[in-house]
Amino acid sequence: MPGTQGTISERLDGQHVLLTGVTGFVGEALLQLLLREAPGARVTVLVRPKGSTTAEARTAALLRKPVFDDVQEAAARVEVLAGDLTDVPALPTDLDAVVHCAGDVSFDPPVDEGFRTNVLGTRELLDRVREAGPGLHYVHISTAYVAGRRRGSIPEGPVDHAVDLEAELAWGLSQRRSVEHQSRSAGVLERERKKAERTHSRAGLLTAAAATEEARKEWVKKELVRIGSERARSLGWTDCYTFTKALGERVVEQHARDHRVSIVRPSIIESALERPYPGWIEGFKMAEPLILAYGRGELPEFPAAADTIVDIVPVDHVVAAIVAVLAHPPEVGAPAYFHVSSGDRNPLTFGTLYDNVRAYFDEHPFAAGDRGAARLPEWRLPGAHAVERLLVTSERAFKAADYVLGHAPRSDRARDLTRKLDQQGRRLEFLRRYLDIYREYAQAELRFSDSRTLALYRSLTPEDQEAFAFDTAVVDWPHYLRDVHCPAVTAPVRRMDEARRKRRAAADPTLKPVAEAEGIGAFFDMDGTLLSSNVIETYLWLRLREQSGTERLGELGRMVGRLPSLVRAERRERSAFLRSVYREYDGARLADLEAIADEHLTSHVLARLSPDAVRRIREHRAAGHRTVLITGAIRPLTRPLEPLFDHIEAAELATDDRGVCTGYLATSPLVGESRAAWIRQYAAEHGLDLAKSYGYADSHSDLPLLEAVGRPVAVKPDVPLFRHARRHRWTIVDWASSDSNTRSLNPAGGLG
């Protein structure tokens, strides 16, 4: 065991310490500090293999980070123990201490994951600690917020509660099975299926089924989070994280009856004040998303009172306190508690936080595209209820606008409005998530007493007080926020913004050149993709040619009258819509339709083709790709396009033995999922590699077609396809219509 004399380095000299959680923010900082200031200590790290990456490889990558550059000699002596908290391996038998930093630090984990990591994982680790020997000093890293929804001064001691640990643990671990079972109930499935079918029915029922299953899985995740939060709040904690951390402390306290135990409770951990260098931080913690959103003008208000304390502590103070605690083990059976916090002796209020963050962005604003500096919101800090009302009103307005856009005709303006609305939707989702998570913390009226921690600091030698600084009273908040923390948080974001600007400036607005290779297909939709037309319009091109002037007027009037019902049918099911339109060909001679297309419509169809589309088709042909047109239009209308394609798959009108159309199709129309099935069969027959092939389409009903290829391109997409393409980072192009484009319903002329 450590000696009683000298500095922290001397007390830890020759000690063998096991650390967990070193791949996390606090664990990494702790490992770096131990290697730098206690080089005589032996360090073993418990690291979980990740996929095909071994624990040793993960540790080696960690120690190659720049933060370890000045401790490489000591780092070379770090030993690796491969394992996980779900299956803790046997620990070395010569250990002197274990510092447990690992745990689920998400504020809203699924309830079973929170219990498994923060409670069960701690218990299993302590089982191994007891096996390793009776004299080990166990240091448990918890959180000050295990105090829950209490108010006032919180002492450094056990949290007073009467929760049945074993009952809650069993309940928490059983919830995934229960929720998974519930997610398959008729009520949940019917609700999610109907929503998916409203969105995806035009693409096909299997597409809707896949969306239903994804929605079910998302429901399970959200329900597990909701259940954990509600159970925690019902028992007096802010969220599932603090609840399970508090129960984890109960497990530790049971171990402490016969062992040396210290429990360290940091408050909100943020970037380093000084070491390893000012502003050092890894990943986003609690405050960073809010700071960045405010700087971009996307956080209009926050649910806190200006005089409420926000308890922040720099990470270097946290790990310095942990090492000091490690070097001063308590007596067996007398667990020691330490708050590493700032609110009691050096309080930072939300008002001060806001003033300094705003001052920083006033001096160093984010750019808002070509509009100059992002506009900063004026926070009034009116409290949670006022912010909730504002958010609810905004969410209702968003839903109304989303409904209108979802039913709007496709256009460049609709897509631009959709892009802006989606940005607003993501902003509202962000606000809702962080309002729900942080509301409790923003209203917490807690002052964490740190008298024991301060006493430990004052007991150190002057040299150790310099090397292991953790007196949070010395933090100058304006300096820390404006000169240290905000610059550190925004620096990587500014670098990414600059890289994006350079990519946009250098970006070619056209599609990338096609690859020259055999075995590649290029599949094109026709209406709305190659030319600005639709099924009803092309029907009139052929049908009006055969009619006199009065008959044409009657036909136009009849189709106008049918238009509302046809639009509804098209939105419900594309194949039924096509069959309904093609019934209108009943009695027409197929040979006459072909003659009209050849003699009167060829020039019109070719004039309607987008020059960009024609150019792209020719590029594919020049590269040796097989070009395929796959369309729901009837075969006669595709005859003018035959020179452009190696194969055309179109709707075939059924005829009787006289060549007269019956009003039915010879085969089912290729729409939605049937297009994808046809493409797969065609590719197999012609040796095409779909993963390298291209697809071009404009409608959400063509989603299966685009998903069947490895290089999908959305051409002037409708709103649902536009959203899907953006979400999946597909190429989106806006092929211009021909300059000679004319919108005539009777381009073929008539008989009189």
- Under the banding of pLDDT at 50, 70 and 90, the label for residue 752 is very low
Q: Determine the pLDDT at residue 412.
A: 64
* pLDDT over threshold 50, residue 250: yes
Tell me the pLDDT band of 512, cut-offs 50, 70 and 90: confident
- Using one digit for the tens of pLDDT, what is the confidence trace for 551-587? 555 655 665 566 566 555 555 566 777 888 888 888 8
Topology of domain 521-733, CATH? Rossmann fold (3.40.50)
* Residue 333 burial class via C-beta count within 10 angstroms: exposed 0-12, middle 13-18, buried 19 and up: exposed
In angstroms, the CA 358 to CA 363 distance is 9
| Structure token pair of residue 335 | 């667990």
Phi/psi at 747 (5° precision) = -70, -20
Residue 118 has pLDDT above 70, yes or no: yes
10 Å CB burial of residue 160 (0-12, 13-18, 19+) is exposed
Give the model's pLDDT for residue 484: 96
Does position 738 have pLDDT exceeding 70, yes or no?
Answer: no
336 forms bridges with which residues in the sheet? 262
**Is the N-terminal amide bond of 712 cis, ω within 30° of 0?**
no
> Whole-number mean pLDDT of the chain?
86
Which part of the chain is CATH 3.40.50.720? Answer: 1-163+235-267+311-344+449-470
State the span(s) of the chain assigned CATH 3.40.50.1000.
521-733
For the beta carbon of residue 370, count every other beta carbon within 10 angstroms. Answer: 5
Angle ∠(523,529,533) on CA atoms, nearest 5:
130
Dihedral sign for Cα atoms in the order 316, 319, 321, 324: negative
Model confidence pLDDT, tens digit, residues 701-713: 899 999 999 999 9
Give pLDDT, residue 5.
61
The total number of residues written for the chain in this structure: 752
pLDDT value of position 315: 96
Question: Could you read off the pLDDT of 410-444 as tens digits, one per residue?
Answer: 666 666 777 777 777 777 776 777 677 677 777 77
Residue 696 has what pLDDT? 95
The fraction of the chain above a pLDDT of 90, given in percent, is 54
Residue 139 has pLDDT above 60, yes or no: yes
- Above 50 in pLDDT, residue 479? yes
- Checking if the pLDDT of 3 tops 60, the result is no
More confident residue, 673 or 266: 266
Fold of 1-163+235-267+311-344+449-470: Rossmann fold (3.40.50)
| pLDDT digit string, tens, across residues 349-388 | 999 999 999 999 999 998 866 556 778 888 887 766 666 7
